[in-house]
A and B are shown apart, each in its own frame.
Chain A
Amino acid sequence: MALLTALPILAVFGYVFVPAPDVWQHLRETVLTDYLLNTLWLVLGVGFGVLLLGLPVAWLNSMCEFPGRRLFEWALLLPMAMPAYIIAYTYTGMLDFSGPVQTLLRDLTGWGYGDYYFPNVRSLGGAITMLSLVLFPYVYLLARAAFLEQSICVLEVSRTLGSNQWQSFFRVALPLARPAIITGLSLALMETLADFGTVQYFGVSTFTTGIFRTWFGLGDHAAASQLAALLMGFVFVLILLERWSRSRARYHHTSSKYSRIPKFRLRGWTAVAAVLVCALPLLLGFVIPVGQLLHWSIKVASKGLDSDFINLVWHSLMLASLAAVFALLLALILGYGKRLNNDPLVSIASRIAAMGYAIPGTVIAIGVLIPFAWADTQLNHLSKQFFDSNVGLLLSGTLFTLLFAYNVRFLAVSLQTVEAGLGKIKPTLDNAGRSLGLSPLGVLRRLHLPLMKGSLLTAILLVFVDVLKELPATLILRPFNFNTLAVRAYELASDERLADAGLPSLMIVAAGIIPVILLSRSISKSRAGEH
């Protein structure tokens, strides 16, 4: 199963051993250093950014009580519904040299070009900011779930041993939550590595844009997939990092006693500070860009809203739900299979399968097409031989391909979440279940699934929102007469009709919001003793 998912990745890598010395020399002499440095800075910058934005709010919302907390608790997940390329469009529209902010500034002061400093949105720094603003919820989500699932007893023990609130955070809660935090971080960074829309729009050359340019512009598949292999190097480091953080110690809760977390009530300036810390990422990552989208949508509302549009919404929602359910089932099979027999082969296979998250959707789409188109050709040969008729593209011409591609791309999300969930359940519980006569499947159904309800919902939801936002694979693989909101938004924006792209973009965000709210509620309730 894992091998099947890894197939597209392997198919692209089939080209790796084809030598392409000329193109490589050209790349080395001209753009390779740029690709390397920009990618490195991007990953470091976004990594720092998502921790900076995600961790404090996770802690504040799990352990403290302050005005507006109930709102922030779920609202801080909202930026997740905002695709990175769309937030990039909105900020560029606002802050560009010819945008309203700088124009107003010039009108007020009489300055001209070059008379003043204004940070350029379309830059590496801009890309880091945009990606951090929409990816920090991954860290927030997983860290908060981890904080909430920690038995309060360990914190209380640390307090009785003389630690103050801060010390018990840094010495106990943070290390305990580390696997979850790093999972969140690595998801955010993988998404960063795979990002195409934002960096391309900002003109920052990274591996992703480099692969695309080499594959299509230079027409060299070998060099392109060798670049992709280098990109894999980055991913591999990320995965090792995540493994390493988990393997150093196994964290299982020693106590299953949960009591209500006594929330630390903030007052006065600490409360104001907490509200500010929570409000800032929410404002920048959601409220302001949505405001801009609304502004654009209202301008063109009469043009964009028709029955076609409802079709788009329906297609997008259906596709995202189907893909999310598939991804969860696959993740359960893989994750549970690994728990049952710790075969290194199974482990490696699921690692490779999970790498898809960091591979640009374009590469995956081509990787999916290679084996599927081949299989279709074989099928047609067979049917021609036996029935003297062509069956057409049974695999590569239908939604099946697209769903498969989503799974290759997003399996890491569901797998990591499911594994993190399973990791928190003590193996002794399995043994107890088995000794009481449950089959392995029974253990899964009767014990694990109820215990992991929060993690499972998280997995479904993350994939749902991701698929809703996904662009390159959808663009390449969808069947005839089948469009999604993301495709529509992209087509309008790439035709430089930003205002017209506002409405479909807004719908993507809106469709992503409802599950985000559901998710937050279920996490709050997932903690035993918390209702």
Chain B
Amino acid sequence: MFKQIALSLLVASIATPVLAGGEVNVYSARKEQLIKPLFDKFTEQTGINVNLVTGKDDALLERLKLEGENTPADLLMTADAGRLHRAVAMQLTQPVESAILQQDIPAALRDPDNQWFGLTSRARPIFYAKDNIKPEELSTYEDLADPKWKGRICVRSSDNIYNQSMIGSMITTVGTEKAQAWADGIVKNFARPPEGGDRDQIKAAASGQCDIALANTYYYGQMLVSDEAEEKAAAEKVAIFWPNQAEGDRGVHINISGAAVTKTAKNKDNAIKLMEFLVNDESQKWYAEANQEYPVKANIAPSEMLKGWGEFKADSVNLSELGKNNAEAVKILDKAGWK
């Protein structure tokens, strides 16, 4: 019995075939189904084999930290800028010089010191039930804290990183006090205690449980193209409103998915090659189509559907601020009683 166990352990640990082009090891907080197809294409084109572990972002960071200089990981991918910043703060990454990355990715969507790079982006605008609300009634995120919205807003729990990051960006742009006041106000306007995911907020607005929902754009996009008739029908009952668009205002809150090369990467060149591959025109197009996200590269048009939602001004705060402010954001949410 022990022999068999030992044997299967051995097989499992060495079963990865080594290709001629070498390899690159990726720790990813992005779900496998969102990146594997691109990795396969990368391997096909370059002969470089991609080894992948997916997991929760914070847990992967912890694993990286504990493994120290022995970590096999070359590239860290996350679905949130705050986490990339945390990786930098924990000294788990290294700066990368790449003309392609620096040229293709706008400055706000990458680290000032080239420690990490955004690969796709999404917005977190206001969604409203078309039957109950006219877009003229809406203006800014701040306005949602007004008592006139009492009992009309749906949003997910504060455990969720998207809400933490949103507050994190507010801390930078309007200050801790105003962010706290906003959180206190909007909590009083909740239609129900926070529950469920982003799609659930949109569905709740569609079915009349609330009038306003905060959610990420790609969930909305995925619902619109869903195979499930009910999901599609729900999404069609709500529409996007881009808040804070007035002259001089900060714009819609956005976030990215991105990547960073680990400090001790043994396959650094391959890791950079992979990042460059992920921002080439074809990959950017695939991302936009497959996950309804916005490309980070300016010259790539988003999918037809995303174009239909209209253009908007995006908050230009450098996204590393989200990470710096995360702990503060969690405290604000706790104090506001945001479940």
Are A392 and B339 touching (Cβ within 8 A)? no
Spot the interface stretch: B25-33, B281-289, B296-304.
B25-33
Q: Mark A456-486, 1 if CB is under 8 A from B, else 0.
A: 0000000000000000100111111111000
Instruction: Tell me the complex Cα distance, A200–B326, Å.
Output: 19
Are A322 and B66 touching (Cβ within 8 A)? no
Which residues of chain A are within 8 angstroms of B33 by Cβ–Cβ distance? Answer: 491-492, 495
What band does the interface of chain B fall in when counting residues whose beta carbon is under 8 Å from A?
Answer: 35 or more
**Residues 11-29 of B contacting A (Cβ, < 8 Å):** 12-13, 16, 25
Spot the interface stretch: B46-54, B118-126, B137-145, B246-254.
B46-54
Query: Given A29, A96, A483, A496, which contacts B32 in the complex, CB threshold below 8 Å?
Result: A483
Which residues of chain B are within 8 angstroms of A494 by Cβ–Cβ distance? Answer: 31, 197
Instruction: Tell me the complex Cα distance, A218–B52, Å.
Output: 28
Instruction: Tell me the complex Cα distance, A261–B208, Å.
Output: 58
Query: Given A92, A98, A299, A390, which contacts B228 in the complex, CB threshold below 8 Å?
Result: A299
Judge whether B149 is part of the interface by a CB distance below 8 angstroms: no
Q: A97-B207, A398-B9, A476-B56 are in contact. Are A202 and B159 (CB under 8 A)?
A: no
Query: Given B16, B59, B71, B199, which contacts A365 in the complex, CB threshold below 8 Å?
Result: B59
Expressed in whole angstroms, the minimum distance between the Cβ of A375 and any Cβ of chain B is: 11
Are A480 and B228 touching (Cβ within 8 A)? no
Judge whether B91 is part of the interface by a CB distance below 8 angstroms: no
Judge whether B196 is part of the interface by a CB distance below 8 angstroms: yes
Are B67 and A480 touching (Cβ within 8 A)? no
Instruction: Tell me the complex Cα distance, A444–B308, Å.
Output: 73
Expressed in whole angstroms, the minimum distance between the Cβ of B214 and any Cβ of chain A is: 15
Q: Mark A198-221, 1 if CB is under 8 A from B, else 0.
A: 001111010001001101111110
Q: Mark A311-335, 1 if CB is under 8 A from B, else 0.
A: 0000000100010011000000000
Are B9 and A400 touching (Cβ within 8 A)? yes
Spot the interface stretch: B101-109, B171-179, B310-318, B328-336.
B328-336
Q: CB-nearest residue of chain A relative to B83? A: A216
Judge whether A125 is part of the interface by a CB distance below 8 angstroms: no
Instruction: Tell me the complex Cα distance, A113–B198, Å.
Output: 20
Are A369 and B219 touching (Cβ within 8 A)? no
Q: Mark A368-403, 1 if CB is under 8 A from B, else 0.
A: 011001001100100000000010110011111000
Are B193 and A373 touching (Cβ within 8 A)? no
Which residues of chain A are within 8 angstroms of B69 by Cβ–Cβ distance? Answer: 377
Are B195 and A475 touching (Cβ within 8 A)? no
Judge whether A300 is part of the interface by a CB distance below 8 angstroms: yes
Judge whether B136 is part of the interface by a CB distance below 8 angstroms: no
Which residues of chain B are within 8 angstroms of A30 by Cβ–Cβ distance? Answer: 334-335, 337
Q: A113-B207, A380-B70, A479-B53 are in contact. Are A217 and B326 (CB under 8 A)?
A: yes
Q: A213-B330, A322-B5, A480-B16 are in contact. Are A496 and B200 (CB under 8 A)?
A: yes
Are B9 and A399 touching (Cβ within 8 A)? yes
Query: Given B16, B59, B228, which contacts A481 in the complex, CB threshold below 8 Å?
Result: B16
Judge whether A529 is part of the interface by a CB distance below 8 angstroms: no
Instruction: Tell me the complex Cα distance, A299–B230, Å.
Output: 13
Instruction: Tell me the complex Cα distance, A493–B228, Å.
Output: 15
Are B68 and A377 touching (Cβ within 8 A)? yes
Interface of B is mostly: helix
Are A200 and B12 touching (Cβ within 8 A)? no
Judge whether B227 is part of the interface by a CB distance below 8 angstroms: yes
Are A495 and B31 touching (Cβ within 8 A)? yes
Query: Given A203, A393, A399, which contacts B195 in the complex, CB threshold below 8 Å?
Result: A203
Expressed in whole angstroms, the minimum distance between the Cβ of A333 and any Cβ of chain B is: 14
Q: A219-B326, A219-B327, A369-B63 are in contact. Are A92 and B196 (CB under 8 A)?
A: yes
Query: Given B8, B67, B326, which contacts A376 in the complex, CB threshold below 8 Å?
Result: B67
Expressed in whole angstroms, the minimum distance between the Cβ of B61 and any Cβ of chain A is: 9
Q: Mark B179-215, 1 if CB is under 8 A from A, else 0.
A: 0000000000000011111111001101111000000
Query: Given A218, A373, A482, A491, which contacts B331 in the complex, CB threshold below 8 Å?
Result: A218
- Additional 7 contacts, C-beta under 8 A, given A203-B196, A220-B327: A26-B334, A219-B327, A322-B8, A373-B70, A398-B9, A476-B60, A483-B54
List 22 A-B residue pairs with CB atoms under 8 Å apart, sorted by A's residue number: A30-B337, A97-B207, A200-B159, A209-B159, A217-B159, A300-B227, A325-B1, A369-B62, A370-B66, A373-B68, A373-B70, A376-B67, A377-B70, A398-B9, A399-B13, A475-B56, A480-B25, A481-B16, A491-B32, A491-B33, A496-B200, A497-B222
- List the 9 shortest-distance A-B pairs measured between CB atoms, nearest first: A216-B58, A480-B51, A98-B203, A98-B207, A30-B334, A373-B66, A122-B195, A217-B330, A496-B197
Binding site for A on B (CB under 8 A): 1, 5, 8-9, 12-13, 16, 25, 31-34, 51-56, 58-60, 62-63, 66-72, 86, 157, 159, 164, 193-200, 203-204, 206-209, 219, 222, 227-228, 230, 234, 326-327, 330-331, 334-335, 337, 339
Binding site for B on A (CB under 8 A): 26, 29-31, 92, 96-98, 100, 103, 112-113, 122, 200-203, 205, 209, 212-213, 215-220, 299-300, 318, 322, 325-326, 362, 365-366, 369-370, 373, 376-377, 380, 390, 392-393, 396-400, 472, 475-483, 487-488, 491-492, 494-497, 499
